């Protein structure tokens, strides 16, 4: 074998290294949340604890102002298709009824599979959207007696709101309007591993104590919940093969003036 054969081998290896390989595009799986608009009963897709119920946009708690309601936060639907939303921490009517203490939760669990029809999933990107409103009474305006409304995705906290900004006194339509709103919460979370996740809305109403100066009583509303999932696939084997071919090409280039090096690696004898 002569040195003239080495450039031919190099050319062949370089040609193999530049064979085009299509990388897998992210796969949009759409919304993984069921009944996020609450058009059906809460038992459809959701799990609840404490005091949680479903109401229409015409309900007293939505159309009432001040710290007695949500000040029309949830928009009007139609007579045949009203706009429903979920309420945490209030059984009926205006803010100020039962309950005034305890924890109420609204949650839904979903699974991000490690394999889909298009291949093996390396990670997921989640676009999370929802609308929330939080209002009521905080008599003491101190952390010892505050109510907390928050949303989480498993161990990840999405937001947390405190009732300490709310007016003192019994909830009333004519009172100050200091409600807290997410209109609309919209955030992208990337690189999540396949697995099971739970989206939870939680209202923690503190028990009345002498420290808070009276009764702290709040309610929270939730609507328009969606979690759009995009799957990022594991690189295809052909992509890894391309990297290997490129490595061999580099090795061959280094052996251009020393063909015996490449032949030794290939298990052949050099007779130049």
Task: Look up the pTM and report it.
Answer: 0.79
pLDDT of residue 216: 81
| Burial group, residue 136, by CB count within 10 angstroms (0-12, 13-18, 19+) | buried
239: part of which helix (H) or strand (E)? helix 237-254
CA dist., res. 76 & res. 84, Å (int): 9
Using alpha carbons only, give the angle 67, 217, 177 rounded to the nearest 5 degrees. 15
Which residues, 6 or more positions from 47, have their beta carbon under 8 angstroms from its beta carbon? Answer: 105, 106, 107, 108, 109
Q: What is the DSSP string of 32-89?
A: --SSTT--S-TTTT-EEESSEEEEETTSHHHH--TTTS-TT-SPP--SSS--EEEEES
CA distance 83 to 60: 14
* Total residue length of the chain: 272
Report pLDDT for 134: 97
At 141, the pLDDT band (50, 70, 90 cuts) reads low
Using alpha carbons, select from 163, 103, 111 the residue that is nearest to residue 133: 163
Q: Which of 74-83, 127-136, 211-220, 224-233 bottoms out in mean pLDDT, i.e. has the lowest?
A: 211-220
**Do residues 145 and 206 touch, judged by C-beta distance below 8 A?**
yes
The pLDDT, as a whole number, for residue 220 is: 97
44, two tokens? 């459809």
Least confident range of 30-34, 129-133, 232-236: 232-236
Whether the predicted pLDDT of 214 surpasses 60: no
Q: Are 218 and 205 in contact (CB under 8 A)?
A: yes
**Quick one: average pLDDT of 199-203?**
98
DSSP H or E run through 204:
strand 195-205
Say if residues 33 and 66 touch (Cβ distance below 8 Å). Answer: no
Asked whether residue 113 carries a pLDDT value surpassing 60, the answer given is: yes
Confidence (pLDDT) at 169? 80
What integer pLDDT is reported at residue 58 of this predicted model?
93
């Amino acid at each position: 074998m002569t040195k003239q054969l080495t450039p031919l081998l190099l050319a062949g290896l370089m040609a193999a290294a530049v064979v085009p390989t299509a990388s897998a595009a992210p796969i949009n799986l759409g919304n993984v949340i069921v009944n996020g608009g609450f058009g059906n009963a809460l038992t459809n897709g959701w799990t609840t604890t404490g005091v949680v119920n479903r109401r229409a946009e015409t309900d007293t708690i939505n159309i009432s102002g001040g710290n007695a309601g949500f000040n029309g936060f949830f928009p009007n639907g139609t007579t045949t298709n009203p706009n429903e939303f979920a309420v945490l921490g209030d059984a009926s009517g205006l803010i100020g009824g039962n309950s005034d203490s305890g924890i109420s939760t609204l949650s839904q669990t979903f699974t991000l599979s490690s394999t889909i029809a298009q291949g093996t999933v390396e990670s997921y990107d989640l676009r999370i959207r929802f609308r929330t409103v939080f209002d009521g009474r905080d008599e003491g305006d101190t952390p010892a007696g505050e109510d907390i409304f928050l949303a989480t995705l498993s161990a990840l906290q999405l937001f947390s709101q405190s009732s300490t900004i709310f007016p003192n006194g019994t909830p009333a339509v004519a009172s100050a309007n200091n409600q807290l709103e997410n209109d609309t919460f919209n955030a992208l979370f990337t690189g999540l591993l396949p697995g099971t996740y739970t989206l939870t809305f939680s209202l923690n109403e503190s028990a009345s104590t002498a420290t808070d100066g009276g009764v702290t009583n709040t309610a929270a509303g939730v609507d328009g919940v969606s979690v759009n999932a995009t799957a990022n696939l594991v690189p295809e084997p052909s992509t890894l093969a391309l990297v290997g071919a490129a490595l061999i090409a580099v090795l061959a280039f280094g052996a251009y003036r020393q063909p015996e090096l490449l032949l030794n690696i290939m298990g052949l004898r050099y007779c130049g």
